[in-house]
Amino acid sequence: MSKIRFYNARILTMEEPVQISGATELWVDGKEICYIGDGKAEMLSFDREIDCRGNLLMPGFKDAHTHSAMVLFRSMADDEPLQSWLNNLIFPIEGQMTDEEVYELTKLSVLEYLTSGVTAVFEMYLTPKSIQDAFNECGMRNVQVSGINNFGPALSVMEERFQTLNGRNELSSYMLGFHAEYTCSKELLQQIAEMAKKYKAPIFAHNSETKQEVEECISRYGMTPTQLMDSLGMFEYGGGGYHCVYMDEKDIQIFKERGLSVVTNPASNLKLASGIAPISKFLQNDINIAIGTDGAGSNNCLDMFREMFLVTGLAKYHDMDASSVDAAKVLKMATVGGAKAMGLTKCETLSVGSYADLIMLDLHQPNMQPINNIVKNIVYSGSKQNVKLTMIHGKILYEDGKFNIGCDVDALYDKCNQIASKYNKGRI
């Protein structure tokens, strides 16, 4: 682990208020930030000193809902509604995917996260052990959550994963959760709730993504998915929901009272014609909001800049109010809000003692000029093109278009294209 000095920087720590701090230097010692200031402290003997040329340092983005290996389905499964897309195309192929294939595809996703300034992912997918191996080998911080349902491994497997996949190292963790109400029996949901109590653990699941999902849950149980989960005692130790597009007042009160997190996925919700989440209402109720890309099968890219613009743009449209959900709020969701949802207490802001999970954004690109307001520039005009450097746990994994994740990028592309060929005969 090395000592790195960033100087001549603009710094957005994401502590309140959200604005450029007076500091121009940030020092990293091993995995942690050890100094933020004007550079007049006693210098360490640095392994590397990086002239930021006035570019911006800020916390990396947290992609708070994703299915990484679904990069396989990018541009393979478009232009279908959610349920037929899942049942006819995704589930049959997923039934055949091997641990090794998921491992390679997860590594491909890491490349894309790094180009988008993502330093941690909240992951739910098929083969948690091989997924964690892929992330850990690349150096990507990852919080996995169980996607248990009626059709996959038993509850005992989830418990075994919870015990073995936590504590392997500081980069990774594993949380309890399940796929969604509509893929789980009531008995299974009850067992999950018991396990949450046993381990005093939060629970996350897909929740109220489509109108149909909510209507069917009501016809089955006389309650919305949120109310059902709460009635089973599932949220005694917190957690939250992915999507949360169709939420009634009672659902919102449950989220507020239980301190749950909403993870919104606007690109996926548009592309699958699911709907627009009521972001302003969540904010009015002081509910923690995080942002996720969802998997590349439905999005189709892992780009937090696109998601951030959509969160604010769609809120303004939804509320018919151009002042809704301003840039600073969105930037907090993409950083602090994500870290909170994922339980990453040392990754929320740039501060001494926090993990060095940070990005450098190039302000010398035309989309960032003139520099009227950097926070608004990032959310309204920012792009992956602005990501000059991505550092996780003190290690630079991406810099000036070059990757440093311990494997050959072209060879990885070849492997993933071979996997895609196997499942997708009609490709061009």
Report residue 302 as tokens: 């892992």
Q: Which of 199, 225, 198 is nearest to 211 (CA)?
A: 225
Q: Which of 45, 156, 169, 323 binds its own copies (CB under 8 A)?
A: 323
Q: At its nearest, how many Å lie between its own copies and the CB of residue 77?
A: 9
In 3D, which of 339, 364, 405 has the Cα closest to residue 114? 405
306 binds its own copies (CB under 8 A): yes
Q: 117 near 389, Cβ under 8 Å? A: no
Judged by CB under 8 A, which stretch of 90-98, 168-176, 227-235, 298-306 contacts its own copies? 298-306
Q: What minimum distance in Å lies between the beta carbon of 176 and its own copies?
A: 30
Tell me the C-alpha distance between 341 and 178, whole Å.
Answer: 16
Q: Taking phi first (over 0 means left), then psi (-120 to 50 degrees means alpha), and beta for anything else, what does residue 17 get?
A: beta
With contacts defined by CB under 8 A, name the span among 75-83, 86-94, 256-264, 331-339 that binds its own copies: 75-83
Residues 163-202 that bind its own copies (CB under 8 A): none
> Smallest distance from the beta carbon of 338 to its own copies, in angstroms?
20
| Helix H or strand E segment including 198 | helix 186-198
Whether the CB-CB separation of 151 and 354 falls below 8 Å is answered with no
Segment interacting with its own copies, rule: CB under 8 A, options 217-225, 281-289, 344-352, 411-419 = 411-419
The interface mask with its own copies, positions 234-273, x = CB under 8 A, is: ---------------------------------x-xxxxx
The residue among 153 and 275 lying less far from its own copies, judged by its C-beta, is 275
Question: Alpha-carbon distance 181 to 229, whole Å?
Answer: 8
Among 4, 36, 64, 82, binds its own copies (CB under 8 A): 82
**Binding of its own copies at residue 319 (CB under 8 A)?**
yes
Give min distance, CB of 172 to its own copies, in A: 21
Beta-sheet pairing, 395-399 with 387-392: antiparallel
Out of 49, 81, 151, 198, the only residue in the binding site for its own copies (CB under 8 A) is 81
Which is nearer to its own copies, 256 or 318 (by Cβ)? Answer: 318
Selected from 300, 349, 354, 390, the binder of its own copies by CB under 8 A is 300
Q: Should residue 406 be labelled a site residue for its own copies when binding is judged by CB under 8 A?
A: no
Farthest CA pair distance, the chain:
66
- Least distance (Å) between residue 78 CB and its own copies: 6
Per CB under 8 A, the list member of 157, 369, 406, 411 interacting with its own copies is 369
Measured from the CB atom, is 109 or 127 closer to its own copies?
Answer: 109
Residue 54 binds its own copies, judged by CB under 8 A = no
The beta strand positions in 309-394, using DSSP E, are 358-361, 387-392
Closest by CA position to 358, among listed 332, 323, 382, 393: 393
Angle at which helix 99-115 crosses helix 128-138, to 10 degrees, equals 40
Asked whether 245 and 276 are in contact (CB, 8 A), the reply is yes
Q: Could you tell me which of 85, 75, 84, 66 has the C-alpha nearest to residue 302?
A: 66
Q: Count other C-beta atoms under 10 Å from residue 160's C-beta.
A: 12
Q: Is 275 in the site for its own copies (CB under 8 A)?
A: yes
- Nearest Cα to Cα of residue 331 among 4, 17, 5: 17
- Shortest distance (Å) from residue 70 CB to its own copies: 12
* 359 contributes a contact to its own copies by CB under 8 A: no
Q: Is 312 in the site for its own copies (CB under 8 A)?
A: yes
Least Å distance between CB 150 and its own copies?
25
